Structure 1
Amino acid sequence: MKRQNLTYLINGGRSMLALAAIALLLATSPATPAAAPLQVETTVSATQVRLGEALTLSITARGDDLSSLTVVDPVPDEPTLKDLPTTWSVRKITERPSKKDDEVFDTKTFRYELIAFAAGETTVPQARLSLGGVGATTQPLLSAPLAVMVESLLPSNSDPAQLPIKEVADPEAIPLPKALWAGLLFAGLLVLVALVAWLVYHFKRRVIAYVRPPAKPDQIALEELARVEGDHLVEKHLIKEHYSRVSDAVRAYLGAVFGIDAMEQTSTELLGTLAETPEASVVYAEIEGLIAEADLVKFAQLVPESGRCKRALETGRRIVLESRFLLQPPPEVSGPAATPPPDGRARQATGQVRR
């Protein structure tokens, strides 16, 4: 019996020691800090400003986590910074992101630039701050109203009621007239139409360039001679340019007809090549005269009279018209071979030079 009572006493002592140890641990463990309440500090850059002068309002909040802190829309009948009376106007709003000012708390600052439009002692409107935005369940906190003295721009002895106008007009939104909107819309439509027309024009030119067959040498030469005539170079006393362009147009045409590099050959080389080409005999005399006269103008400073200059242009046109048949393909021979001419050379009207 005594042994059993001793066992009970030992077990009870152990239980008491365990409870005491638990109580000691709870007493010595650090307590969890309570959430710090949201604190708001409101300051102004000056308590006395002149009418129309900017005033900086700073609202600094301090708390545990301010990442969701915002300025929410005010409730009715309680004007704040987002529902200003005509006494104040907001010119600029800036917001500094929240940051840790120590190991526990955040700080977040909202800055407003305000302009007063009424003289006398007035109160800076309050800002409504809330954690979580408009839909937050926590009670919003208002910034403290601060008194500011706004000095008038008028002399101290004047009566504002007797003045024909106000010191500073209240800010008003100026709507754009409907005629201006209509004009902007019409101008935009014109720009769009012009852009579409430009795209169609250039696309059409590219399509035509791909589809249209290349111009023939005689057509190119005649068009260039017509441009020379239309530029009235003789009347402008540009004789050398007149002969150069006429000579170049004829040279390019001869090179295409007879398959020679007429633009790079000298006059002597070109005339020698044409002299050996039977097909060129029909216009050889005109070619020789035109090239010789053009060389005299370009290199010997010859200045022919206007009539002679115009005849040189006609000579170039005649060379093209009288030799353009050489560009036609030779007719197909269906019967027996044609008898060669007496000199034994078969004249071919193929437009190619026979060396």
Structure 2
Amino acid sequence: MKARQLLHFLAVLLLAVLSLAAPAGAAGPVQATLDVPAKELAVGEPILLTLQVVHPPDHRVVPPDLGEQWGAFVVVSQSEPATIRNGDGTVTTSMIIDTRLFAPGSFTTPRLVIDLEEEGGGRSQITVAPVTVHILSSLAADDLELHDLKPQASLPTTALWLQILGLTLFLPFALALLHRAAIRRDNKAGPELLPADLAMAELDRIAALHLPEKGQAREYCTLLSQCVRRYLEQEFAVPVAERTTSEIRGALLREGLVPEVVQAFGQFLAMMDTVRFSQYTVDLATADYLMLLARRLFEHEAAHHRRPSALSADGEKPRTKRSNPSQDKPA
């Protein structure tokens, strides 16, 4: 009987010692998860990654510094950590990582290690399991090139003889107007505007529209793309109508532009295509950056666009096309 009482006393004593040794609110091992609401998204669509860390209350989660480019993921923003208490004495710290992907395919998040700081000055780490996101292409399986939208074709319905008659009656009037305009143009004084000057003026006009502030990102990028395309056509005599971005790249290379400059213009047009043909919406900061990038293309890149072999004998760059050929006067 005494032996049984002694064992009972020792068991109670052991439980008391264990309860004193364990601090109040102590939790089990730290757990960290990374989750994405939708595993299949479109190119450029927001990818909101939810990071959750379950840890003891005397630990603090250090937000990870992912930078702007995290593997293939473009990091747009990270929310401030939010902490809630759980019923078992632990706490959960959560934060949202807003990312984007700009190419179709399957992408896995890079290795992510979370640092935790303890009240006593200690520090520990935990590795988060990666997640995979599938980006769907908005193009058909047999169509990997972006094409400009074409207007609906219309068939002529007017009789041919009526068209000839109308042209005959209108032609003298049109020639008179052209002759009058030529005389007025010859009498007009002032420096000739180059394609770069016209492009910069067009950028000023686009900026004054404030389209991003009105939520019209697609219209904004369409105007920027048209401005760059018009500049390339006027400066290098490269037809851009009904041409894709890759076709324009090839035409610029055949004109003798250095590959680095062709790549710069091509990447800019590709970014514009991404916004024009997807659900991606640029914010105000990105819109300002795109405008600045377009200005730099005209101010700096275009100044050294020719290969050395394309220079004239005196070292000057030959101009392939004026911004307004009708203003050239015979010597």
TM-score, normalised on structure 2?
Answer: 0.38
- Greater relative contact order: 1 or 2 (C-alpha under 8 angstroms, separation 6 or more)? 2
TM-score, normalised on structure 1?
Answer: 0.36
Larger Rg over CA atoms: 1
